[in-house]
Structure 1
Amino acid sequence: MSETKMTDPSSGPRFCPECGSRLEPDGSCSKCLLVIGLTTGTGTAAAESLSLAPEQIPGYRLEERVGQGGMGVVWRAHHLNLQRTVAIKVLAHSVRGIPGFAERFHREARTMAGLSHRNVVTIHDFGETDGLYWLVMEYVDGLNLRELMNEVVAPRRALKIVTQICEALDYAHEAGIVHRDIKPENVLVDAKGQVKLGDFGLAKLLDGSEDRTRLTGSRHVMGTPHYMAPEQVNAPLDVDHRADIFSLGVVFYELLTGELPMGNFAPPSQENDTDPRLDEVVLRALHHKPADRYQRASEVKDDITAVEQAPGGGSTGSADLQIRSDGDAGSARKAGADLEVRAPVG
């Protein structure tokens, strides 16, 4: 997971570096239910509390910690019976404090394990040991998209990555599953260029918003600031699959330009040497109103594919290609001028 920096604790409201929720006065995150290390902001507190013995999880040998954050720690591990490498995400101790977590964990883990698609990280197993909840996943030998974006990603490669994310999302949405936290850190790319979308269901699993709303009457925000759809902040209980399409649009824009679409941002082709025919695709995905966005991830893929297959596709070229438009023809163009991404208010 990437490092995140905390603001000066004395400078005003403090926000969780993992989920963006406002921290409680004692420094705890009501979503992650962790005491965030304010001096490091990198999930160190979670990692230190999850120092495990190599064979603490039955049937597996933990070999190397490969990621950490507010949600817990990811280990590369060895399946002792099958003799294969897997990844194990061990959730933070404090998830036990989420009302009804044990029941929801088993329900959501079974749902995640039921996903079987070439572009989705497969869940092999899950369980609870000594009060620790864990998920066993396929091990993807590669980099996450954030790491790839440390260098310039060629436009054609960006299109290949985004279309594979579209396939993963379309599959999940058909199954009635909304990811809720699409961001570069959750997109894995192996050495062959195969994209794997991970952490399906974890935002919902660790949230418990229904319980919180019933008990406290408060709103609860799921997602990562800058990648969240407006409705994830303004109406978090009414979020549907179209929020994932907005987040996909943010990732797409960032891949093409190296920048986040903040404030009154310019279309991608004005920021970088990219095909101007992609502007309509990106801006429509980023529309404020869910009804004016693409309604299916497959539609995004179809329009990207049309650009790729047209003369000069994937690079700077003429803008004579007709992009699909199911609504106001100007709505996508206006999205760039209308959009402003805000951090959630706790």
Structure 2
Amino acid sequence: MQTVVRCRQCGKSYSAGVVNRDFEGVCPNCVAAFALFDDVSRSPLETVKSPPPPSDDARTTLFLTPGTLIQGVEIIEVLGQGGMGIVYKGRQQGLDRIVALKVMSDRLAGDAEFVKRFEKEAKAMAALSHPNIVGVFNFGIDAGRCFIVMEFVDGANLRQLLRERKLTPGEALKIVPQLCDALEYAHEEGVVHRDIKPENILLDRRGRVKITDFGLAKLANAAAHGTLTGLVMGTPHYMAPEQVEAPKDVDHRADIYSMGVVLYELLTGELPIGRFQLPSEQGTVDVRLDQVVLRALEKRRDARYQRAGEMRDEVSRVSEFIPVARMASRPPQVAAAGSPAAPPPAHRVEA
């Protein structure tokens, strides 16, 4: 027997088991509503003040109830939401396989330019076959909605893990080579991600790392602006300088810059914004990783690693010679009362 609870957003009653536990306390319609807002960084658990929620018609056309079928995939529950639509957990009936189903907002299927771009990017994603890249099984348009059927990763994204502070430097150094290996493969296939960040990096329960959403940075901008000409694609703080200064002249080295940001964040728990401390100045991190981070974060792309494989090899060489004791997470630093510690030297990355 399912428990009926009241939504913290709209006050309406709904069955608690329908929505994934990440959205506990929010009804399916309100979860769907967040996918229509421009600000997707806000959690659906936060109180909505502005913009006003869409009409009931807009919400119900996007939300798919459990049991709904889309091209042989049966909806099970909501997994998450973003600026273009909602991701569901589903079951591919013919193969009895659990999958992730990304369903775009129905308003996008009416845009001929978006549909053309969607088909092109989906084909590029489906052509990628690598153990560290989320596989794409199918895509198309069903009942006026663009959809992508993807590999289901039973785990969490890197952002969720960072919020829980579960990663040690040793764990970070095991993750980064896998990411670089996936990017090296994708770049050799002519595919640039353009939006490498913790939210797009998944870890399953066995510790395997997978990158998701290849090509969706282009689609997100097409959805928001109706055109792709000269648009900035990516996420602030993770974007290479050229993604802002010359968005039409971006190549695979933008992903390497983003990997530098991710590596720094994994090692320090912070972002390399403005004047920042080197990783080794913040804890038990090998000083050689400072140079790996700084090279990946070079403003001039010619000065960065030219291949993701180069960065992978450097990180692997460092990790092979770090004693386990030095890989342990550093304890919180608490200054003695009345004697605040002087800040160590800082470094700057020009963006």
Q: TM-score, normalised by structure 2?
A: 0.75
Corresponding position of 2:90? 77
SS in 1 for 2:276: coil
SS in 1 for 2:107: helix
Corresponding position of 2:34? none
Alpha-carbon contact 1:19-1:224 (below 8 Å) kept: no
Q: 254-263 or 143-152, which moves further after superposition? A: 143-152
Corresponding position of 2:221? 207
With over 3 angstroms needed to count, the CA separation of the structure-2 counterparts of 1:313 and 1:297, relative to structure 1, is: farther
Counterpart CA distance in 2 for 1:237 and 1:285 is 21
Q: May I ask how many residue pairs the two structures share in their alignment?
A: 291
SS in 2 for 1:124: strand
Corresponding position of 2:196? 182
Counterpart CA distance in 2 for 1:311 and 1:222 is 37
Counterpart CA distance in 2 for 1:97 and 1:340 is 41
SS in 2 for 1:120: coil
Shift of 1:229: 0.8
Corresponding position of 2:77? 64
SS in 1 for 2:98: strand
Corresponding position of 1:191? 205
2:288 paired residue among 263, 277, 300:
277
Corresponding position of 1:52? 64
Counterpart CA distance in 1 for 2:86 and 2:233 is 19
With over 3 angstroms needed to count, the CA separation of the structure-2 counterparts of 1:213 and 1:155, relative to structure 1, is: closer
Unmatched tracts of structure 2, length 5 or more:
1-19, 24-36, 329-345
Corresponding position of 1:228? 239
SS in 2 for 1:75: strand
With over 3 angstroms needed to count, the CA separation of the structure-2 counterparts of 1:289 and 1:338, relative to structure 1, is: farther
Alpha-carbon contact 2:153-2:202 (below 8 Å) kept: yes
Shift of 1:120: 0.2
SS in 2 for 1:237: coil
Corresponding position of 1:291? 302
Counterpart CA distance in 1 for 2:122 and 2:146 is 10
1:39 paired residue among 49, 54, 60:
49
Corresponding position of 1:116? 129
SS in 2 for 1:149: helix
Alpha-carbon contact 2:275-2:348 (below 8 Å) kept: yes
Counterpart CA distance in 2 for 1:48 and 1:123 is 26
Counterpart amino acid of residue 39 in structure 2: P
Larger Rg: 2
RMSD over aligned Cα, in angstroms?
3.0
1:241-256 to 2 correspondences below 5 Å: 241-256=252-267
Q: Does 1:164 align with 2:171?
A: no
Shift of 1:309: 1.8
Q: Does 1:266 align with 2:277?
A: yes
Shift of 1:225: 0.9
Corresponding position of 1:146? 159
Counterpart amino acid of residue 205 in structure 1: L
Shift of 1:311: 5.2
Q: 55-64 or 72-81, which moves further after superposition? A: 55-64
Counterpart amino acid of residue 239 in structure 1: V
With over 3 angstroms needed to count, the CA separation of the structure-2 counterparts of 1:260 and 1:278, relative to structure 1, is: same
Counterpart CA distance in 2 for 1:277 and 1:226 is 23
With over 3 angstroms needed to count, the CA separation of the structure-2 counterparts of 1:227 and 1:213, relative to structure 1, is: closer
1:106 paired residue among 95, 109, 119:
119
Alpha-carbon contact 2:154-2:205 (below 8 Å) kept: yes
Corresponding position of 1:312? 323
With over 3 angstroms needed to count, the CA separation of the structure-2 counterparts of 1:314 and 1:205, relative to structure 1, is: farther
Q: 90-99 or 269-278, which moves further after superposition? A: 90-99
Corresponding position of 1:130? 143
Counterpart CA distance in 2 for 1:146 and 1:117 is 22
Q: Percent identity?
A: 49
Alpha-carbon contact 1:113-1:124 (below 8 Å) kept: yes
Corresponding position of 2:339? none
Counterpart CA distance in 2 for 1:314 and 1:198 is 33
Corresponding position of 1:339? 349
Shift of 1:93: 2.5
Counterpart CA distance in 2 for 1:213 and 1:124 is 26
- Listed one character per residue, the Cα deviations across residues 208-252 of structure 1 (whole Å, up to 9, x for unaligned) are 4998366xxxx3110011111111111111011111011111111
